[in-house]
């Protein structure tokens, strides 16, 4: 997995956004040095491409990319077209309407903190290959990645439910992992952790171990090397992995509905509203979910793009 934005494709993406569906897309005259490059393309062994073919081909590829992009965005566009200010205001105005939002953000924040502290070291160890039977460790992460959320929820009942050893231990501490905030956090952690580990491992793998060696030879202890070299170099990738984990945590539903039906987070609020009062009242919560979940990944994306840009000087 590589989250680093490719400069060429990023540029192409910006262009296709600008020209999306525009009738003049094929007739664009590009400035020197811009994408697509000027000049006639000479294929392997082929003669000069006839004039007019290149702009047409460019138009087709940009148009195709725009179509796919729009198709991916279609649910978001649909959401926006089916909402009115009136329905948003009425759905969110009665007392306690925003409680699920607060619950979701709090649980998501705690989940991220747990992932950061617990899974970052594991991802680093996996990336550096310093564990015996490396493949076994990786296969384990993959297994947890492949478990359907609903199954995770069922298994969590067997793991931390009231009649299990862990459940009993929690009971002694006057805690419970069923229908509590703790249960919500546990469910979200289990749903998002594999995604974070895989992403973070890729981020650490992208750091050249020779740079770390160089830093050690220049006199830094491994911990300081991690802080001064490894972490800054991996941080754009780590930020993207956290963004993915955040999105998973905010949208966690399958495991949550089984082990943490209460307190309501946003996904459950959407589900119960849908069941009780129907689609139109559920949609505003979907918008809230989008608006709340989006800023962090967006900020992570912008920040990592900037970090890469700074490195290029």
Partner 1 sequence: MLKADVEVDRRDFTVRAAIAVAPGERLALFGPSGAGKTTLLEAIAGLVPPRSGTIELAGRILTRTGKPRVAVPPWQRRVGLLRQDPGLFPHLSVRANLTYARTASSVIQADVGSRAAGGTAGAELTEVADALGIGSLLAAMPARLSGGQQHRAALARLLLAHCDALLLDEPYSGLDAALRRTLTALVVRLVTERNVPAILVAHELADAQAFATQLAVIDHGQLLQAGPPDRVVLRPASVRVAELTGYLGLAAVPGNPGTVAGIHPDRVVADAAPERGLVLTGPVAASRPAGAGWEADILLPGAQPPGSAVTVRLADRPGPAGSEVTVTAIDPPLFGPDGLALADASAPRRENEAHAPAFERIGEGNGR
217 binds partner 1 (CB under 8 A): yes
Asked whether 98 and 179 are in contact (CB, 8 A), the reply is no
Distance between CA atoms of 283 and 85, rounded to whole angstroms? 12
Asked whether 217 and 149 are in contact (CB, 8 A), the reply is no
**104 CB-contact burial (10 Å; exposed 0-12 / middle 13-18 / buried 19+):** buried
Complex with partner 1: residue 61 or 213, whichever CB lies closer:
213
Q: Which stretch binds partner 1 (CB under 8 A): 110-118, 119-127, 214-222, 237-245?
A: 214-222
CA atoms within 13 A on the CB side of 121: 4
Distance between CA atoms of 279 and 16, rounded to whole angstroms? 34
Classify residue 177 by its DSSP letter. Answer: S
The site string for partner 1 over 284-313 (x = CB under 8 A, - otherwise) reads: -----------------------x--xxxx
Please count the helices (runs of H) and the strands (runs of E) in the chain: 15, 0
Long-range contacts, stretch 159-165, CB < 8 angstroms, 24+ apart: 160/186, 160/259, 161/259
For 307, the token pair is 């970090």
Q: Which stretch binds partner 1 (CB under 8 A): 15-23, 132-140, 215-223, 269-277?
A: 215-223
Closest contact distance (angstroms) between CB of 35 and partner 1 is 20
Neighbours of 37 (CB within 10 A): 10
106 binds partner 1 (CB under 8 A): no
220 binds partner 1 (CB under 8 A): yes
Q: Which residues contact 175 (CB under 8 A, 6 or more apart)?
A: 182
For 109, the token pair is 């924040």
33 binds partner 1 (CB under 8 A): no
Closest contact distance (angstroms) between CB of 215 and partner 1 is 7
Distance between CA atoms of 72 and 82, rounded to whole angstroms? 17
206 binds partner 1 (CB under 8 A): no
Complex with partner 1: residue 164 or 235, whichever CB lies closer:
235
Among 18, 232, 278, 295, which residue sits at the site for partner 1 (rule: CB under 8 A)? 232
8 binds partner 1 (CB under 8 A): no
Number of residues that bind partner 1 (CB under 8 A): 23
Closest contact distance (angstroms) between CB of 208 and partner 1 is 8
Closest contact distance (angstroms) between CB of 7 and partner 1 is 12
Among 42, 224, 262, 306, which residue sits at the site for partner 1 (rule: CB under 8 A)? 224
82 binds partner 1 (CB under 8 A): no
Complex with partner 1: residue 37 or 232, whichever CB lies closer:
232
Q: Which stretch binds partner 1 (CB under 8 A): 4-12, 126-134, 204-212, 257-265?
A: 204-212
Q: Which stretch binds partner 1 (CB under 8 A): 2-10, 157-165, 222-230, 281-289?
A: 222-230
Cα separations (Å) of 313 from 32, 38, 280, 303, 306?
22, 26, 50, 15, 11
Residues of this chain that interact with partner 1 (CB under 8 A) are 208, 210-211, 213-222, 224, 228-229, 232-233, 307, 310-313
């Amino acid at each position: 997995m590589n989250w680093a934005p490719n400069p060429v494709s990023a540029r192409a993406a910006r262009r296709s956004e600008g020209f999306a569906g525009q009738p003049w897309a094929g007739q664009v005259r590009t400035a020197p040095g811009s994408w697509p490059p000027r000049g006639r393309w000479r294929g392997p062994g082929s003669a000069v491409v006839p004039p007019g073919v290149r702009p047409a081909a460019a138009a087709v590829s940009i148009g195709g990319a725009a179509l796919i992009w729009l198709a991916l965005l279609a649910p978001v566009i649909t959401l926006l077209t089916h909402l009115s200010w009136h329905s948003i205001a009425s759905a969110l105005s009665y007392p306690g309407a925003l409680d699920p939002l607060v619950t979701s953000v709090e649980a998501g924040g705690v989940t991220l903190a747990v992932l950061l502290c617990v899974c970052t070291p594991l991802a680093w160890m996996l990336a550096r290959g310093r564990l015996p039977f490396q493949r076994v460790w990786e296969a384990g992460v993959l297994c947890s990645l492949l478990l359907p959320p609903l199954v995770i929820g069922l298994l969590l009942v067997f793991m931390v439910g009231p009649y299990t050893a862990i459940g009993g231990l929690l009971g002694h501490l006057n805690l419970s992992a069923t229908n509590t905030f703790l249960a919500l956090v546990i469910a979200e952690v289990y749903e998002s952790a594999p995604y974070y580990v895989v992403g973070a491992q890729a981020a650490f793998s992208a750091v050249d171990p020779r740079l770390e060696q160089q830093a050690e030879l220049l006199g830094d202890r491994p911990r300081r090397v991690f802080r001064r070299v490894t972490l800054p170099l991996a941080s754009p990738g780590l930020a993207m992995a956290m963004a993915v984990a955040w999105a998973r945590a905010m949208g966690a539903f399958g495991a949550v509905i089984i082990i943490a039906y209460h307190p309501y987070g946003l996904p459950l609020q959407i589900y119960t509203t849908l069941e009780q009062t129907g689609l139109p009242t559920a949609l505003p919560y979907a918008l809230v979910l989008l608006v709340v979940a989006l800023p962090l990944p967006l900020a992570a994306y912008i920040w990592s793009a900037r970090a890469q840009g700074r490195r290029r000087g």
